Amino acid sequence: MRFEKELYQVEKITVGNDTIEVRAFRNRIYVDKPVQEEFQQMNVFAPETYYQGGTIHGYSLHTAPIFMPNLVGGYMPGMAGEPVGMPWEQEGIPNTIFRALQHGYVVATPAIRGRVLQNASGEYIGKAPACVVDYKAAVRYLRHFAKELPGDTEKIITNGTSAGGALSSLMGATGNHPDYEGYLEEIGAAKERDDIFAASCYCPITNLEHADMAHEWQFLHVNHYHRMHMRMDEGGRPAFTQEDGQMSELQIKASEELAKRFPDYVNSLKLRDENGALLELDAEGNGSFKEYMKRVVLASAQRALDFGAELSDKKWLIIRDGVAVAMDWQEYVRDITRMKSAPAFDALSMDSPENDLFGSGQTNMRHFTEYSRLNSLTGGEMAEDGAVKRMNPMKYLEDNAAVKARHWRIRHGECDRDTSLAISAMLALKLKEISCEVDYHSPWNVLHAGDYDLEELFAWVDEIAKS
């Protein structure tokens, strides 16, 4: 394993009215036995002033936190980032990496394998848990060359959105766990720790084997769906098409059956609110957990009200003297609308991104829940338990062999319908219970998105880095 310290570029980059000067260490292969070099390499950037003894916000060459975003979406391969020129960025508007460097962070941005990659013999080489394994290998590489690289490897903060948010949560939940060791050895990862200081997770699409039931618990009786399909155009920019439809009888039946399975799962977690009260659901899906979820949404509305938003058009929301006091859950769900038909993740036709994620070297798509395996329309195979477990941070929170990130920031938009709001809430609650420090809320009127509040994100990083 190599890190050529003398191989770098110093670049002055201007976006809009802002200019930064950075030292760029690009295309560093972070494992000894890569299976796909393009997606097992990393770019590392540091403010150039650090090499002249300068400081930014009190940070210097070896004290600056290492902000480590992944650019994974849809569990597809994620590319290594750049401070300018990413396909989706808007002209003249600094991207996350640019802003992080300007703020004084070192930025390490690994490419990561994804579900569609194949080798020359047609074997799949990016199925679960390859994405987590690569992210861990990149952290290990940073530690292995800590003396040569900029930044403080005890202050690594991962960041990602959606599938990338899920990966960030896995990084925070599974530090050094032996479950990943064999995979890390296979690709020749450095023999170092892979636990991290903090995880920033936007709308994590995670806890996948329980995501169908959580989704139907939330969206039950909303049988019409609206969804946007994203594909990349020729220029690599996202392009969207709209699909609307009514769920079939089979899908409505799946929705009802899956919704019935959620209370047992929630109750098995023995979640507690900030006052220690148990959060549960009865067989109808009502109870203290649902009341807690209403409080998450009400808190979201309250923050919007406090910032002067006008919410009187929200008929499901009861506001008295500027205070969001109550809500009608069913009408709220109708208002935000359903995006995915049932089952939302482990599709009966076995053609979802998650079916693809849980494929194997030889099999492209597999099921990963008992319900969809039993009701499969394709007779597809089931992924092995270990693969499903390795993709679920919830499975590691009470396992002492996993070193947890001490600090967490989780954001999941109030009208995000890619996964149930319960998914992030359960993660946040469990993390608090095991004494992690968690900053969780659901920003008002925010869909499935990330990095929309960088000032607040960086303020959080600064606070935990200096504490």
Instruction: Specify the residue, 163 or 402, whose C-beta has the smaller distance to ligand DHB.
Output: 163
Q: How far is the CB of 379 from ligand DHB (least distance, A)?
A: 23
Tokens of 34: 């890569």
Bridging pattern class, strands 238-246 and 198-202: unpaired
Question: Helix (H, G, I), strand (E, B), or coil: what is residue 362?
Answer: coil
User: Binding to ligand DHB (CB under 6 A): which residues in 163-222?
Assistant: 163, 205
- Which residues fall within 8 angstroms of residue 168, CB to CB, at 6 or more apart? 70, 158, 159, 160, 199, 200, 201, 204
Instruction: Specify the residue, 192 or 418, whose C-beta has the smaller distance to ligand DHB.
Output: 418
Residue 206 to residue 216: CA distance in whole angstroms: 15
Residue 316, burial from CB neighbour count under 10 angstroms (0-12, 13-18, 19+)? middle
Q: Judged by CB under 6 A, which of 418, 425, 426, 450 binds ligand DHB? A: 418
Residue 195 to residue 175: CA distance in whole angstroms: 4
Stretch that binds ligand DHB, among 73-81, 104-112, 278-286, 420-428 (CB under 6 A): 73-81
Q: Among residues 257, 276, 278, 421, which one has the least CA distance to residue 339? A: 421
Q: Judged by CB under 6 A, which of 40, 96, 158, 162 binds ligand DHB? A: 162
Say whether residue 70 binds ligand DHB (CB under 6 A). Answer: no
Q: How far is the CB of 50 from ligand DHB (least distance, A)?
A: 33
Q: How far is the CB of 160 from ligand DHB (least distance, A)?
A: 9
Say whether residue 450 binds ligand DHB (CB under 6 A). Answer: no
Stretch that binds ligand DHB, among 9-17, 70-78, 148-156, 270-278 (CB under 6 A): 70-78
Residue 445 to residue 431: CA distance in whole angstroms: 25
Residue 98 and residue 116 in contact, taking contact as beta carbons nearer than 8 Å: no
Q: What letters, b where the CB count within 10 A reaches 16 and e where it falls short, cover 351-382? A: ebbbbbbbbbeeebbbbbbebbbebbeeebbb
Residue 138 and residue 151 in contact, taking contact as beta carbons nearer than 8 Å: no
Stretch that binds ligand DHB, among 72-80, 180-188, 251-259, 366-374 (CB under 6 A): 72-80
Instruction: Specify the residue, 48 or 212, whose C-beta has the smaller distance to ligand DHB.
Output: 212
Instruction: Specify the residue, 29 or 423, whose C-beta has the smaller distance to ligand DHB.
Output: 423
Say whether residue 421 binds ligand DHB (CB under 6 A). Answer: no
Question: Helix (H, G, I), strand (E, B), or coil: what is residue 121?
Answer: coil
Q: How far is the CB of 405 from ligand DHB (least distance, A)?
A: 21
Q: How far is the CB of 393 from ligand DHB (least distance, A)?
A: 15
Say whether residue 353 binds ligand DHB (CB under 6 A). Answer: yes
Q: Among residues 266, 260, 327, which one has the least CA distance to residue 297? A: 327
Q: Judged by CB under 6 A, which of 47, 65, 69, 74 binds ligand DHB? A: 74
Q: How many residues bind ligand DHB (CB under 6 A)?
A: 8
Stretch that binds ligand DHB, among 69-77, 94-102, 431-439, 454-462 (CB under 6 A): 69-77
Residue 147 to residue 214: CA distance in whole angstroms: 45
Q: Judged by CB under 6 A, which of 65, 69, 73, 110 binds ligand DHB? A: 73
Q: Which residue is nearest to ligand DHB (CB)?
A: 162
Question: Helix (H, G, I), strand (E, B), or coil: what is residue 349?
Answer: coil
End-to-end CA distance of the chain: 34
Instruction: Specify the residue, 20 or 344, whose C-beta has the smaller distance to ligand DHB.
Output: 344
Q: How far is the CB of 169 from ligand DHB (least distance, A)?
A: 13
Say whether residue 77 binds ligand DHB (CB under 6 A). Answer: no
Residues that bind ligand DHB (CB under 6 A): 73-75, 162-163, 205, 353, 418
